[in-house]
Amino acid sequence: MSLLELHGLKKTYGPVTALAGVDLSVASGSRTAIVGPSGCGKTTLLRLIAGFETPDSGSIMLDDKPLANGAGAVPAHLRGIGLVAQDGALFPHLSIAENIGFGLGRHAAGRNERITELAYTVGLDSALLKRRPHQLSGGQQQRVALARALAMRPRLMLLDEPFSALDTGLRASMRKAVAELLETAGIATVLVTHDQAEALSFADQVAVMREGSFSQVGTPRELYLKPRDRMVAEFLGEALVLPAMIVDGFAETTLGRLPLDGSGERPALARVMLRPEQVMLEIRPATEAADPQAGALYGEVVESEFAGATSTVAVRLINSPDSPEAAAIANTPLVLRKSGIEAPAVGEIVRIRTIGTAHVLAAG
Amino acid sequence: MGYSTGSYARSDLGATLLTGRRARRRPVSWMAVAAVVVSLFALLPLGFVIFSAFQAGWPTVVELVFRPRVGELLTNTIFLMLLTVPLTAVLATALAWLTERSDLPGVRIWSWLAVAPLAVPAFVHSYAWVTLIPGMHGLFAGVFISVIAYFPFLYLPISAALRRLDPALEDAASSLGLSPARVFLRVVLPQLRLALCGGGLLVALHLLAEYGLYGFIRFDTFTTAIIDQFQSTFNGAAANMLAGVLVSCCLVLLTMEMLIRGQERYARVGSGAARQQPRIRLGRMTLPCLVLPLVVALVSLGVPILTVGRWLIAGGADVWRLDEIGLALGQTLVLALLGGLVATVAAIPMAWISIRAPGWLQRILEGTNYVAGSLPGVVVALALVTVAIRVVPPLYQTLFTIVVAYGLMFLPRALISLRASIAQAPVELERAAGNLGRPPLRALWATTIRLSAPGAAAGMALSALGIMNELTATQMLAPNGTRTLAMAFWNYSGEIDYAAAAPYAAIMVAMSLPLTWLLYVQSKKMAGR
């Protein structure tokens, strides 16, 4: 069942359009990530849901009750939506315990027990409760911010790039911990981030945002493997985008004849996408390329840059199938990121194979 | 106000040990000696108060301190403070909120108009009201005029603090279910505590030290009583004992402020820059809200301008006795510039040490300076009069003594500007200059001194502004025949020749305006805008 429903949300600041009509549906207990480059309007969207700003038009429904409808809006403090901001926004003048208990009544029964319980839930040592925010590390501050928001028992939690201030290692473990915690508590989550890996690994629904509207909304797998257009494809990871002729449900490209995913109407000329991990390189003796097997594709390694776990390898095609654009394309080397151990050296001849299917991108 | 520049200075000391041992240690230790000498000088007034109590002996102290007159003055002072400081705080907070956080039309103008009353000397405020409403006197007149004259001292720090607040905190509070009013009370107000304490202390100290304002409306405070006493019996034990009580009041205030301020940290937790504050839409409340800054501007600027203007018109061309005014102006400028220079030069060693070599010495010196800087001018003047007469009679009523008094009184003003600007000249630059082949003193000249020159100039200007409008110490210490703008104004208005006094008031305000503007711009800059 859908907990949060956004319909046609629009917001402008003077001449700048921050949101140009956004629709989104968030199921209860689910995790949604909104990902996009900075300035795409994702933070504005979050602030509209939280109630810090009102939309120019469109509606926000929580549990089938309107939070904002045109000009009328429920103020932020009456919405009961949790929020964890980028760097925690802890109250510097209050202790950790007072921070966590901020939203609870000051004389509420069982207040102290509840604070201790919340600290335990988010994995905070109870010895920290007496400290001040500036005495805590970045990760601990985020845990306090989460506990403080959880104290209100919200059904929806908004996370505004809460992990971006943390170290790389801590970031991944915090993300996992937060995801598990919110799932256990049955709280639906909307995460805003500019980090695509974070969005893909955190959410069950990802929305890619650009210039105030969603380019595509779907599951992480769907978005990664079947992006609608080139922007979405490249935003979510490295992509090989190839011009292709579509013939009988196959794509004729410089990398040969590739099977396509899905079905349906397709233009005769299109661009298709492969993820670099779909391209396999196999080192072969130079003589084999001089006398290629039928249908086999060979290339020469022109660059190989070692960078620890991965190496970036550039391969120039030797015998590309004769397609109209091939002559021009063949001179542009194929750039792939490969495991550092098996990366071929410069000058080696490789046989190129592809696995899986190619995906046809919409024009534009 | 703590300037956390310890890291520069610590690495500086480390470098001193490692490299250029002789060349770099010498300036620091000379600076330390100079700073200690200046601080000892600054303690002179305090020492004088203690010494005169000892000299008078316990029975005399009891007789002179525990008498109805002192009780009366103490009651006056306490009521004045208890009413003025909270009222000023409320007014300043309301104005700061309107100009920093609401979409009031013309906020920039209102915010400048909230600082501009500083350009009007407190006794000119008093003059303006007394000549407008001759019946004004007593406690309530004192409270009213004090609020008008001193609220900018609270407005400046509060508006700067409001500007620096992280809006994410308020968002967090309202997402936790707090209504806007409760967000203000539980999140915004606690974070204004430092600004409220610091500004409140400054206002309270001014209430203790001011003479002219209360002289006009015949409201007796310790300062007015000391001056009356001084003028009638000259250098009597009674004046000294009153000064002792006045100093005790100051120390009580300093202690109270320290206790209320506490040890808490209010800086933003976390990294990155804070988002810009959104302004709150006043909507239908816009017009009622405009009334407050409008009334304040009318009362604090309109009335002085109106009264001075009215007397100028009434006086016509006759009141502009140019020879007399020119002489007063010249004397005032000489005194202000000399005093400003002395205050700034005296502040250099202390500013240098507090940035480049913080440690136990610097903490003691800063504490000393903090206490000495809060002593009223009347106590400083009384101490210097006594010392001059008893120890070096030829120095009594000389240019030297009055300039020393100005140096002591305005050293804290110079120190704040200097310290901030030396902090902006990191020692790394000095080292880079050394690395590029400059000998130490030339490296110092080419980097730190160049970079801190604007701060020094600002400090000097602010001290000079204070001296220009200074009345109390000038009256008591200036050489015979001295007649500054403030003295001439005071004498004429004392003779109820309000028209003849008006040109002096106008000149003082006109000369203070640019410096007040400087203060306003500096406060905006310090808040990062």
The pair of structure tokens assigned to B404 is: 């020393």
**Residue after which a domain boundary falls, among A165, A200, A230:** A230
Point out the domain boundary residue: A230, A264, A288.
A230
- Candidates B485, B484, B479; CA nearest to B400 is B479
Q: Does A157 touch chain B (CB under 8 A)?
A: no
CATH no. of B45-263+285-305: 1.10.3720.10
Question: Is B12-42+320-376+386-529 CATH 3.60.20.10?
Answer: no
Reply yes or no on whether the pLDDT at A282 is more than 60.
Answer: yes
Please check the confidence at residue A278 and state whether its pLDDT lies above 80.
yes
Show residues of chain B in contact with A48, CB under 8 Å. none
Q: Is B235 in contact with B389 (CB distance < 8 Å)?
A: yes
**Cα(B510)–Cα(B120) distance, rounded to whole angstroms?**
9
How far apart CA B354 and CA B368 sit, in angstroms, is: 13
Phi, psi for residue A43 in degrees, rounded to 5:
-70, -40
Q: Is A76 in contact with B174 (Cβ distance < 8 A)?
A: yes
A143/A207 same-domain check:
yes
DSSP string, B220-236: --HHHHHHHHHHHHSS-
Q: Do A242 and A95 have their domain in common?
A: no
- Residues from chain B that touch A98, judged by Cβ atoms under 8 A, are none
A262 shares a domain with A354: yes
Chain B residues within 8 A of A82 when measuring between CB atoms: 175
Q: B171–A89: do the CB atoms touch at under 8 Å?
A: yes
**What chain B residue is nearest to A85 in terms of C-alpha separation?**
B168
Closest CA to A88 of B171, B192, B2, B464: B171
Q: Any idea which residue has 């799932």 for tokens? A: A183
Asked if residue B265 has pLDDT above 80, the reply is: no
- Please give the structure tokens belonging to residue A344: 């071929």
The DSSP secondary-structure symbol of A242 reads E
User: Helix, strand or coil for residue B4?
Assistant: coil
Is the minimum CB–CB distance between A264 and chain B shorter than 8 Å? no
Domain ranges of chain B: 12-42+320-376+386-529, 45-263+285-305
A132 to B265: CB separation less than 8 angstroms, yes or no: yes
- B268: which chain A residues are within 8 Å (Cβ-Cβ)? 92
| A39 and A116 together in one domain | yes
How far is it, in rounded angstroms, from Cα A162 to Cα A138?
10
- Say if CB B311 and CB B502 are below 8 A apart: yes
Say whether B264 and A93 touch across the interface (CB within 8 A): yes
Last residue of a domain, one of A230, A249, A268: A230
Residues 95-114 of A with CB under 8 A from B: 102-103
Lowest mean pLDDT: which of A53-62, A116-125, A289-298? A289-298
Residues A165 and A203 in one domain: yes
Q: In what order do the strands lie in the sheet with A349-354?
A: A279-284, A349-354, A297-307, A310-317, A334-339
DSSP conformation letters of A80-146: --EEE-TT----TTS-HHHHHTTTS-TT-TTHHHHHHHHHHHTT--GGGGGS-GGGS-HHHHHHHHH
Assign B235 a pLDDT band (cuts: 50, 70, 90).
Answer: low
pLDDT exceeds cutoff 80 at A327: no
Q: Are A268 and A245 in contact (CB under 8 A)?
A: yes
pLDDT at B273 over 70: no
B31 closest CA partner among B3, B12, B5: B12
In this predicted structure, what is the pLDDT of residue B274? 54
**Nearest CA-CA distance, residue B150 and chain A, Å:** 28
Residue B243's nearest CA partner among B346, B385, B402, B404 is B385
Q: What is the pLDDT of residue B14?
A: 40
- The band of B16, judged by pLDDT with boundaries at 50, 70 and 90, is very low
Residues A245 and A223 in one domain: no
A61 shares a domain with A195: yes
Residue from the list A81, A92, A138 with its beta carbon closest to the beta carbon of B268:
A92
Interface test with A, best of B188, B269, B275 (most A CBs within 10 A): B269
Distance from CA of A118 to the nearest CA of B (A): 15
Three-state secondary structure call for residue A58: strand
Closest partner residue to A141 (CB to CB) among B166, B269, B278 is B269
Nearest to B387 by CA among B54, B61, B48, B38: B48
Q: Please report, for residues A29, A52, A102, A139, the alpha-carbon distance to residue A154 in angstroms, rounded to integers and kept in the order given.
A: 11, 17, 15, 22
Separation CA B359–CA B356 (nearest Å): 10
Contacts of A51 in chain B (CB under 8 A): 174-175
Does residue B300 register a pLDDT over 90? yes
pLDDT tens per residue across span B167-225 = 888 889 999 989 888 999 999 998 888 889 888 998 999 999 999 999 989 899 999 99
Residues A255, A330: Cα–Cα separation, whole Å:
10
The two three-digit tokens of residue B102, written as one number: 């609401």
Q: In the Cβ-directed half-sphere of A175, how many Cα atoms lie within 13 Å?
A: 26
Please provide the average confidence, as pLDDT, over all residues in chain B. 84
Query: Which residues in chain A are closer than 8 Å to B187, comparing Cβ atoms?
Result: 91
Task: Give A90's contacts in chain B (Cβ within 8 Å).
Answer: 269-270
Contact B509, B468 (CB under 8 A): no
Could you tell me which residues come within 8 angstroms of residue B318 by beta carbon, excluding any fewer than 6 positions away?
none
| Segment A137-165 mean pLDDT | 90
Distance CA B524, CA B161 (A): 11
Q: Are residues A268 and A220 in the same domain?
A: no
- The domain spanning residue A118 has which CATH number? 3.40.50.300
Q: Do domains B12-42+320-376+386-529 and B45-263+285-305 have the same CATH topology?
A: yes
- Hey, what amino acid is at A309? A
Chain B CA closest to residue A52 = B171
> Are the C-beta atoms of residues A323 and A245 closer than 8 Å to each other?
yes
Angle between helices B222-233 and B237-261 (to 10 degrees): 160
Q: What's the distance, Cα to Cα, between the start and end of chain A in Å? A: 35
Residues in CB range of A28: below 8 A, 6 or more apart: A1, A2, A3, A155, A186, A188
Please count the other Cβ atoms lying within 10 Å of the Cβ belonging to residue A311: 20
- Give the confidence band of B20 by pLDDT, cuts at 50, 70, 90: very low
Higher pLDDT, residue A129 or B421: A129
Q: Does one domain contain both A226 and A174?
A: yes
pLDDT digits 0-9 by tens, B376-405:
989 999 898 888 888 888 888 889 999 999
Beta carbons within 10 angstroms of residue A109's beta carbon: 9
User: What are the pLDDT digits (tens) for B441-489?
Assistant: 787 778 887 888 888 888 888 888 889 889 888 988 888 888 999 999 9
Residue A261 CA neighbour count, 13 Å, CB half: 15
Residue A243 and residue A225 share a domain: no
The residue that leads in pLDDT, B250 or A339, is B250
Domain membership of residue A244 as a residue range? 238-361
- Is any Cβ of chain B less than 8 angstroms from the Cβ of A81? yes
Confirm if B405 and B342 have CB atoms less than 8 A apart. Answer: no
Most B-contacting residue of A44, A53, A67, A77 (CB-CB within 10 A), to test interface: A77
Smallest CA–CA separation between A287 and chain B, in Å? Answer: 58
Same domain, A249 and A195: no
Q: What is the pLDDT of residue B148?
A: 95
Residues A46 and A177 in one domain: yes
Q: Is A86 on the interface with B (CB under 8 A)?
A: yes
* Candidate from B173, B175, B266 with C-beta closest to A92: B266
Backbone phi, then psi, for B424, in 5-degree steps? -85, -5
Structure tokens at A69: 């409808």
Query: What is the number of structural domains in chain A?
Result: 2
Is residue B5 over pLDDT 80?
no
Band (pLDDT 50/70/90 cuts) for residue B31 is confident
β partners of residue A210: A213
Q: Tell whether A79 lies on the interface with B, counting CB pairs under 8 A.
A: yes
Q: Which of A167-176, B1-10, B317-326, B479-488 has the highest mean pLDDT?
A: B479-488
Q: Which of chain A's residues have a Cβ under 8 Å away from the Cβ of B266? A: 92-93
Gap from A72 CA to chain B (nearest CA, Å): 15
Chain B residues within an 8 Å CB radius of A92: 191, 264-269
**pLDDT at position A119, please?**
92
List Cβ neighbours of B14 (8 Å cut-off, separation of 6 or more): none
Output the pLDDT for position B81.
94
Residues of B in contact with A52 (CB under 8 A): 171, 174, 278
Find where tokens 């069950």 sit.
Answer: A204
Please report, as a single letter, which amino acid is at residue A161. E
Q: Dihedral through CA B31, CA B36, CA B40, CA B42, nearest 10?
A: 50
Give the type of residue at B136: M
Across the beta sheet with A65-69, the strand order is A16-27, A2-13, A57-62, A65-69, A72-73
Q: What is the ipTM of this complex?
A: 0.77
Chain A interface mutation, best of B171, B176, B265, highest count of A Cβ atoms under 10 Å: B176
Quick check: A44 pLDDT over 50?
A: yes
* Both structure tokens of A66: 């309107």
Contact A229, A215 (CB under 8 A): yes
> Which residues, numbered 59 to 78 in chain A, qualify as contacts with chain B under a Cβ-Cβ cut-off of 8 Å?
75-78
B174: nearest CB among A77, A90, A149: A77
Q: Which of B319, B287, B348, B272 is nearest to B102 (CA)?
A: B287
The residue among B60 and B329 whose pLDDT is bigger is B329
Q: Flag whether pLDDT at B420 surpasses 60.
A: yes
